[in-house]
Structure 1
Amino acid sequence: MAKRSVSQKTIPAKIDGNGHYPNGSNLSFNGNGDVSLTVAQALVKVLEEIGVRQAFGVSGGAMATLWAALSNSPLIQVIHCRHEGGAAFAAAEAYFTSNRPVVVFTTAGPGITNALTGLFAARDEGAKVIHLSACTSAAQRGRWAIQETSSYTLPQESFFTAGQLFHEATVLESPKQLPQIARRLALGVAGTGGFVAHISIPTGVQSTPIETPLPPAQLTAYPPLPSQKTILEVAKLLQEGPFAIWVGFGARHATHSIRQLAEKTGAAVMCSPRGKGIFPETHPQFVGVTGVGGHESVIQYLQERSPLRILVLGTRLGEPTSFWSEAMIPAEGLIHVDIDPKVPGVAYPFAKTYPVIADADIFVKALLDAMPVRSSQQLLFPQPETIEIDGEVENLVRPEVLIKAIQSIVVDGSDAVVLAESGNSFTWSTHLLRFDQAHRYRVSTGVGAMGHNVTGVVGAALGRGGKAVAIVGDGAMLMNSEVSTAVKYQAPAVWIVLNDGRYNMCYQGMFLLGLTGADATIPQADFVAIARGMGAEGIRVEQESELEAALNRAMSLSGPVVVDVCIDAMRLAPSKGRNKSLSVQGVQATKSESQISFPLV
């Protein structure tokens, strides 16, 4: 299926005699008749130069001038959302489908705080997102301004300075700061890792004219390069015995070189939940997904074949990927490749770890030249398990039957990006879907916020100019879906809602852990009525026989569609490893239940 192009603004041919762009953007002239930009307009010009083409956010009086400057940009599409959190999640997913930096814009006070979870997730996921906000002007600080945003109301070191949340953050108090801000934004966007910045502009400063033109942005990336000595040492270590390759999301741009390495050496390959599709999941050397929703075939391979080492590419090996299980560590440990020097050796501090600080693709391409070709004899590896499906049931839809239909119609039958929401949607999708291409599956692991991909699907659809499909739970869908935003911009987004009247990961998890008294049920919603009430198409599925027609119709429509699937809430999701991980961390389980999924052993 070909991508549908997103409408882009055209560059105005000229400025008229009154100092206006044809689309209404106000500029001022200096004494010589030359155009003079305001701070807000100049910052937007910087964003255009560094490649920003989309901005997601919610308006407000304190940032009216900045909003107008963004809206009158000839290059940047402004998507006005219903909630700042949804805007931030959408911006992060727009980055991953467009590979361009994306802006989040908010007003002061609650505009900033509402966006924080989405920005936190953007940083954890490795997105490039620039948050533009308003704050209270100096003369009004401490005087109870509306939505006051200053040191009197918010911690400056967390929100307005670089640290755990933002790679770069500042309050733009003067036009003279613009050249340095522009330079730092350009460097961050050009870097090899993620980049989340916050530029907050006092309301009164936004309309201040700049005094001198800004220099052009310099977008030059300097990825970390491995030395030849390191390449030769790694090649030597890998030749000492059989090894496996563990692929994470950070290696998503190295898909071709990883496949070449695996086929040249005969290594088994496994991946993190976010790494699905980087190495084809139908390839005979693929042994499965690790972590949340993963496969027991991985453990079977490690126990039966006992590789000497594992080459780790672009994954932090955190709890969602490894559950920190010692069963994942072979006799001679890990060779861990990452662009962040703080990553290798952290998840498994007592394991032998040979760290390599490098871009995964650059490293693997260099390693290919140093590795000999292995025997052409094809080894037989354990394959990811499937779930046997018996016949058809009359009432409700089994989640595994739904996922099978999604595989056939959405994954195999289109080029759509698929996003799975946190909860049981994540585990069912990760465990059962199979991808043979990178950049087609998105889940959030580190933050794992409900609502991430319910709203992120809008950004993904607009970012790629084509179909994006979110597999979500009813609880997440009721949080903040941005269906109204999708209707306004006719985003080709599809929501497939697992409607079971409960937060089912919590419900099933409490049951399996033997903990009673907590109520995870919610009133069952009619998502067809909700969708149609906001102007989207809604399709109801109550029986498995209706699935194929419903999904085909959803994929055929050009605008936003909500598919409301009444699922069997009692089908146990593949989340055994997560429950065992909670037990290890101190949650006292009182009962045991047979379950599928990647085990913690």
Structure 2
Amino acid sequence: MSTKFQTPNTKTDTSLKGSIASSVLSQSSLSLLYPPFADISNICSENIAPSVGNELTASVASAVVKMLEQMGVQYAFGVSGGAIAPLWHSLENSSIQVIHFRHEAGAAFAATEAHFTSDRPVVVFTTAGPGITNAITGLYAARWDGAKVIFLSPSTSASQRGMWAFQETSAYTMPSADIFTTGKLFHYATTLESGEQLPEIARRLGLGLARPGGFVAHLSIPTAVQTSTAKTSWSKVNLTAPGVTVSEETVSECAELISRGKFAIWVGFGARNAAKEIRQLAETTGAAVMCSPRGKGIFPEDHPQFIGSTGFAGHKSVLRYMQQSRPLHTLVLGTRLGELTSFWNPAMIPSQSFLHVDIDPEVPGTAYPTAQTVAIQSDVKLFVRSLLKHLPKSPIETQQSLPKPECEIFSSFNTGAVRPEVLMNAIQQIIVDGSDALIIAEAGNSFAWGNYMLRFAQPERYRVSTGFGAMGHAVTGVVGAALARNGKAVAIVGDGAMLMNSEVSTAVKYKIPAVWIVLNDSCYNMCAQGTTMQGFNNLDIGIPQGDFVKIAQGMGADGIRIETESDIQLALEKAMLSPVPFVVDVVIDPTRLAPIGSRIENLISQNTSV
């Protein structure tokens, strides 16, 4: 049962005050201006501040690139081709840094990570036909993860459509729905058939980039149109938008609810800009704090009030807390509570209600539709700041005997293959604690070990994709992250992912200091372990063992192979000091069970509930 603060007629539990049920978002609320996933042409234009128009007399390709520069784009990632050549040339001759990738999906994954690192929109470009379809997986990851990415592609010129042109890209050969139109993949998509469309395209892109959360757009430009003349002008769009917030009355009601007794805070990736405020809230109230896998580090994991991460490879300490000290309310900040965050485990439901804060009004109540949920559409930072004003200034004593996340430390080394737990302990010491590098964990056992064993005290040091969860995301995304932060970024990946979609060559070409730590166990080990746990045996998941150091060196990078645990420290230190892209190839003991039990239990429950 969900209580929606933003609508006056939403049902609510009778135990909640009437003012909560009738509370409405203030008129400054962005929800009135930027309805999530809505057609952004309906946005109120008076809330966008225009500036002096910019007269353009140039090719459409040049005009599009100038528009992107004005919108703050610094990077364009993609793969070239004849159909995109005019636009590609204009990008190369602009202030935008163009990075030429080896695969379009890798370019899109890298764009997602570059956006989160730089907080700027990033361009992805491809050629026609297969260039577009290759990019789709990475673009879906951008959409699911909430990145801001603008996709540029060519389409077949009007005079050649239906004639089987090479790599023809038209309604004759490709589906239009969701690829060339606004839908499940793109928040905004259009085909530019004339330079006269540019003012409207600029307006809609600008409004989309100003909205909170992600925005993925597709601008398809026929090859002939790219070189046509654009004589037009448009008003520059101010990309600064007001924050979503709720009334003081609503905040006061929330403050009263959490003051009635024990409550917990559940932190997600959407709260990454509110780390300071969340810590102050926790220390003021004494609340227990847990985080989603994507939210690691927003609240310091070494803080005495932190009880662990939830969901996939989460900590049993969280479930112990919920079972032994179940809170009256749980304040959910910036997480959808999706499958890999919650597994929809009923044990995570508080005794009275969730107070769920999110900028997307569709999120609260979705994961737990039968649980009492007070839905609050707001920017997390603005809400927590306002909430703090309604709470006592003096800190409340922390809840006693809060359980702590498990931490397994090995005091001696094995002489055989490397245990992943020992490797993770070394990564913690040398990379997490010993540097400021960003760490990205690949889907699979790499993510399981990273989420379970690595501990972060600062936000935005750890990245995983728990929505789309595509293999190859971290392998290629690390290149975009390292470029955008102009410093080290480290990907923890499996050998399967490293063989699937690698951009080591791209990092070499542009001197990007990415590091790959490959868990080389000669198999798709999460599939191997997971299917065995489900009762399916003798499946072929083996991979011939590769030598990733030789592969890296063959492309101009450097690397080192680790076959015993005593070699880990020196190898990681060498990787972090390397001025060139570096691969650490670790021969992993495949018999060590990764902490994926909760995921497998959830899959088994799905099989029995059909």
The alignment's TM-score, normalised by the length of structure 1, stands at 0.91
Candidates 286, 308, 312, aligned match of 1:266: 286
Candidates 228, 253, 261, aligned match of 1:233: 253
Partner of 2:157: 137
With over 3 angstroms needed to count, the CA separation of the structure-2 counterparts of 1:267 and 1:35, relative to structure 1, is closer
Partner of 1:41: 62
Partner of 1:409: 430
Asked if residue 288 in structure 1 is aligned to residue 308 in structure 2, the reply is yes
Partners of 2:56 and 2:145 lie apart in 1 by 40
Partner of 1:11: none
Partners of 2:398 and 2:550 lie apart in 1 by 58
Candidates 235, 243, 267, aligned match of 1:223: 243
SS of structure 2 residue aligned to 1:279 = coil
Partner of 1:317: 337
With over 3 angstroms needed to count, the CA separation of the structure-2 counterparts of 1:353 and 1:281, relative to structure 1, is same
Partner of 2:323: 303
SS of structure 2 residue aligned to 1:250 = helix
SS of structure 1 residue aligned to 2:607 = coil
Partner of 1:249: 269
Partners of 1:375 and 1:511 lie apart in 2 by 48
Deviations 1:417-438 (A, max 9, x none): 0000000000000000000000
The alignment's TM-score, normalised by the length of structure 2, stands at 0.90
Partners of 1:38 and 1:539 lie apart in 2 by 49
SS of structure 1 residue aligned to 2:177 = helix
How far did residue 375 of structure 1 move? 3.1
Partners of 1:483 and 1:284 lie apart in 2 by 40
Asked if residue 554 in structure 1 is aligned to residue 575 in structure 2, the reply is yes
Partner of 2:498: 477
SS of structure 2 residue aligned to 1:132 = strand
Partners of 1:315 and 1:65 lie apart in 2 by 41
Query: Greater shift after overlay, 235-244 or 546-555?
Result: 235-244
Candidates 414, 424, 440, aligned match of 2:461: 440
Partners of 1:167 and 1:54 lie apart in 2 by 20
Query: Greater shift after overlay, 377-386 or 457-466?
Result: 377-386
Partner of 2:365: 345
Asked if residue 458 in structure 1 is aligned to residue 482 in structure 2, the reply is no
Partner of 1:515: 536
Candidates 96, 100, 108, aligned match of 2:128: 108
Query: Greater shift after overlay, 548-557 or 297-306?
Result: 297-306
Paired AA for residue 587 in structure 2: C
Paired AA for residue 204 in structure 2: R
Paired AA for residue 411 in structure 1: V
Number of paired residues? 554
Paired AA for residue 236 in structure 2: P
Contact 1:59 1:80 in 2 (8 A): yes
Asked if residue 499 in structure 1 is aligned to residue 520 in structure 2, the reply is yes
Paired AA for residue 410 in structure 1: I
Partner of 2:381: 361
Candidates 327, 344, 355, aligned match of 2:347: 327
Contact 1:183 1:218 in 2 (8 A): no
How far did residue 378 of structure 1 move? 6.1
Deviations 1:185-214 (A, max 9, x none): 111112211000000000000011111233
Partners of 2:243 and 2:159 lie apart in 1 by 44
SS of structure 1 residue aligned to 2:234 = coil
Question: Percentage identity across aligned positions?
Answer: 62
Partner of 2:41: none
Paired AA for residue 528 in structure 2: Y
Partners of 1:497 and 1:260 lie apart in 2 by 38
SS of structure 2 residue aligned to 1:260 = helix
Deviations 1:235-275 (A, max 9, x none): 11111111000000000000000000000000000000000
Partner of 2:9: none
Partner of 1:117: 137
Partners of 1:68 and 1:59 lie apart in 2 by 10
Contact 2:409 2:422 in 1 (8 A): no
Partners of 1:148 and 1:218 lie apart in 2 by 37
Contact 2:106 2:477 in 1 (8 A): yes
Deviations 1:293-345 (A, max 9, x none): 11000011111211101000000001000000000001102000000011001
Partners of 1:558 and 1:584 lie apart in 2 by 48
Partners of 2:150 and 2:234 lie apart in 1 by 19
Partner of 1:95: 115
Partner of 1:596: none
Contact 1:284 1:380 in 2 (8 A): no
Partners of 1:218 and 1:306 lie apart in 2 by 46
